[in-house]
């Protein structure tokens, strides 16, 4: 039996600026995510320049292959806006003026106190068999049509390029028209890992990543975080269980490197752990230059657990603010285990007492010192060498857990090294907070890509 509904979808981005790479195609990514959530499988993305015959050809090809095509851009009033004309050619239609669309455009121009220019008026044109979709956030209406090519029926939605017009129109007019294949579903889960490279994580996941498996398991890396993406496409029956089982197995295989899921970030996870325990965090930063504090305070509510920190870039500042002994700096250099340890200890001491700490509460200090490059590397400490120290103390009387210092070798450019160092520092604190041992093999954090 032939499957019914929108069994396959394609997304077409229109515009020279997209094809030339001058503008990132965020529309397609956003639309793909919405289609996936709705259970419509996305099979193809395409981008086409502002050229009538190329546009027509791309539309024709996608409509012949897919049950749904969503196109963005090229609906405006300028001569490079060619979506209406391209769709008319594919449909074999002439262009007619849509009365309701013209009224809406005229009303909008009147509200703006502007005359209705001919090119504005042209936005009310649609292929004869198509219908327009009202634009509540701009002048250009969208267009919806049914295309039949070589026996393949395809629903086409053409939406404006600006995201603030496209997104509400998609939600209002496209979402309700989606017909996910009956009895089938698409489910996704995302798990996030730190302090492990994509290759090592793939080895841990092993056969889970075989391409003939369902759910499909893949990895992506961004900003030092490697994410495991689980995607199930198939019969609705048993889908939830299959995804849950894959999630549990992936989590077990990722082990201590897994820190969160879906919207979690390392900073939001560490903030949650600190709040739950009434613990606090201070930071002492050299090579990250405040990046660790900035990262941690990205999450609202950080002030509850984060008194602040020190940016001690210069040796003299490390001594003055954190009481790092000058002799230690002299003997070992600023990028060294003893200096990282002394910075964390100094930050712990300099942190004012907690106003009302419950019994068992602790304060933690993370210190980062390293060589972010591009210059400044030595044989002993090449570019990318970063020492991260974690020291902790009870807010009240009691024994202090031992300080811990790790040496990392982070690859990537200056920005990569700095941002990854900040995330690794929070990963170290997370391991301490959940009582997990720091994984042994943490020397080389490879660059993704
Ligand atoms: P307008 O009425 O503004 O001309 P339009 O429907 O003709 O809209 P385009 O002219 O193709 O759309 O693009 C307008 C603007 O929308 C672009 O400058 C760009 O900023 C944004 N835009 C277009 N396509 C995309 C896309 N795929 N992803 C993100 N932004 C986009
Ligand atoms: Mg335009």
Determine the atom of ligand 1 nearest the C-alpha atom of 162: 16
Average pLDDT over residues 210-222: 93
pLDDT at 1 over 80: no
72 lines ligand 1 (CB under 6 A): yes
Report d(CA 114, CA 403) in Å as an integer.
69
Ligand closest to CA 17: 1
Residues around ion ligand 2, judged by CB within 5 A, are 76, 81
Ligand closest to CA 160: 1
141 lines ligand 1 (CB under 6 A): no
pLDDT at 184 over 90: no
Residue nearest atom 25 in ligand 1 by C-alpha distance: 161
165 lines ligand 1 (CB under 6 A): no
pLDDT at 441 over 70: no
- Ligand 1 center from residue 100 Cα (angstroms): 23
Do 332 and 342 contact (CB within 8 A), yes or no?
A: no
Closest by Cα among 171, 227, 218, 165 to 194: 227
CA distances from 205 to 24, 35, 171, 216, 447 (A): 32, 27, 36, 12, 19
- The strand pair at 258-261 and 184-193 is best described as antiparallel
Q: Quick check: bond before 415 cis, omega within 30?
A: no
- Ligand 2 center from residue 42 Cα (angstroms): 25
- Ligand 2 center from residue 160 Cα (angstroms): 8
pLDDT computed for residue 355 by the predictor: 85
User: pLDDT averaged over the chain?
Assistant: 93
Cα distance from N-terminal residue to C-terminal residue, the chain: 42
25 lines ligand 1 (CB under 6 A): yes
pLDDT computed for residue 356 by the predictor: 85
How many helices and strands, by DSSP H and E, does the chain display? 15, 18
- Ligand 1 center from residue 162 Cα (angstroms): 4
- Ligand 2 center from residue 50 Cα (angstroms): 10
Report d(CA 152, CA 150) in Å as an integer.
6
4 lines ligand 1 (CB under 6 A): no
pLDDT computed for residue 447 by the predictor: 38
Angle at the Cα of 67 from the Cα atoms of 26 and 18, rounded to 5 degrees? 25
161 lines ligand 1 (CB under 6 A): yes
Average pLDDT over residues 182-202: 92
pLDDT at 135 over 60: yes
- Ligand 2 center from residue 8 Cα (angstroms): 28
pLDDT computed for residue 442 by the predictor: 57
Q: What is the pLDDT of residues 309-327, one digit of tens each?
A: 999 999 999 999 999 999 9
- Structure token pair of residue 111: 């509200």
Report d(CA 414, CA 96) in Å as an integer.
56
The sheet with strand 68-72 has its strands ordered as 42-48, 9-14, 68-72, 152-159, 142-149, 131-133
pLDDT computed for residue 211 by the predictor: 92
- Ligand 2 center from residue 146 Cα (angstroms): 23
Do 98 and 132 contact (CB within 8 A), yes or no?
A: yes
């Amino acid at each position: 039996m032939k499957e019914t509904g929108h069994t396959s979808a394609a997304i077409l981005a229109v515009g020279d600026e997209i094809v030339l790479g001058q503008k990132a195609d965020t529309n397609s990514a956003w639309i793909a995510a919405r289609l996936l959530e709705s259970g419509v499988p996305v099979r193809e993305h395409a981008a086409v320049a502002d050229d009538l015959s190329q546009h027509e050809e791309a539309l024709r090809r996608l409509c012949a292959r897919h049950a749904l095509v969503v196109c963005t851009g090229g609906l405006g009033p300028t001569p490079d806006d060619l979506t209406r004309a391209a769709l008319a050619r594919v449909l074999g239609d002439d262009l007619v003026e849509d009365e309701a669309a013209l009224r809406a455009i005229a009303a909008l121009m009147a509200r703006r106190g502007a005359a209705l220019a001919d090119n504005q008026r042209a936005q009310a044109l649609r292929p004869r068999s198509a219908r327009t979709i009202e634009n509540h956030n701009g002048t250009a209406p969208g267009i919806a049509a049914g295309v039949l090519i070589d026996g393949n029926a395809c629903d086409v939605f053409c939406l404006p390029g600006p995201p603030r017009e496209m997104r509400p129109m998609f939600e209002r007019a496209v979402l309700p028209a989606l017909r996910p294949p009956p009895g089938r579903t698409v489910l996704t889960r995302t798990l996030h890992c730190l302090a492990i490279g994509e290759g090592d994580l793939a080895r841990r996941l092993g056969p889970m990543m075989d391409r003939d498996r369902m759910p499909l398991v893949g990895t992506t890396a961004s900003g030092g975080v490697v994410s495991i993406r689980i995607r199930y496409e198939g019969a609705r029956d048993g889908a939830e269980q299959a995804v849950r089982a894959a999630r549990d197995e992936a989590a077990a295989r990722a082990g201590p490197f897994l820190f969160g899921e879906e919207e979690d970030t390392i900073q939001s996870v560490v903030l949650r752990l600190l709040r739950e325990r009434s613990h606090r965090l201070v930071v002492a930063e050299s090579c990250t230059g405040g990046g660790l504090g900035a990262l941690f305070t990205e999450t609202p509510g950080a002030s509850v657990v984060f008194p602040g920190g020190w940016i001690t870039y210069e040796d003299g500042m490390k001594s003055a603010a954190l009481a790092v002994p000058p002799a230690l700096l002299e003997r070992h250099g600023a990028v060294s285990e003893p200096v990282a340890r002394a910075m964390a200890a100094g930050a712990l001491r300099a942190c004012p007492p907690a106003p009302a700490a419950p019994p068992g509460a602790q304060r933690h200090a993370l210190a980062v010192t390293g060589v972010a490059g591009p210059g400044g590397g030595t044989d002993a400490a090449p570019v990318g060498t970063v020492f991260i120290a974690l020291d902790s103390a009870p807010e009240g009387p009691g024994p202090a857990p031992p300080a811990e210092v790790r040496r990392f070798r982070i690859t990537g450019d200056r920005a990569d090294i700095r941002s990854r160092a900040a995330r690794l520092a929070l990963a170290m604190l997370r391991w301490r907070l959940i009582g997990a041992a720091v994984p042994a093999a943490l020397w080389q954090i490879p660059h993704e890509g």
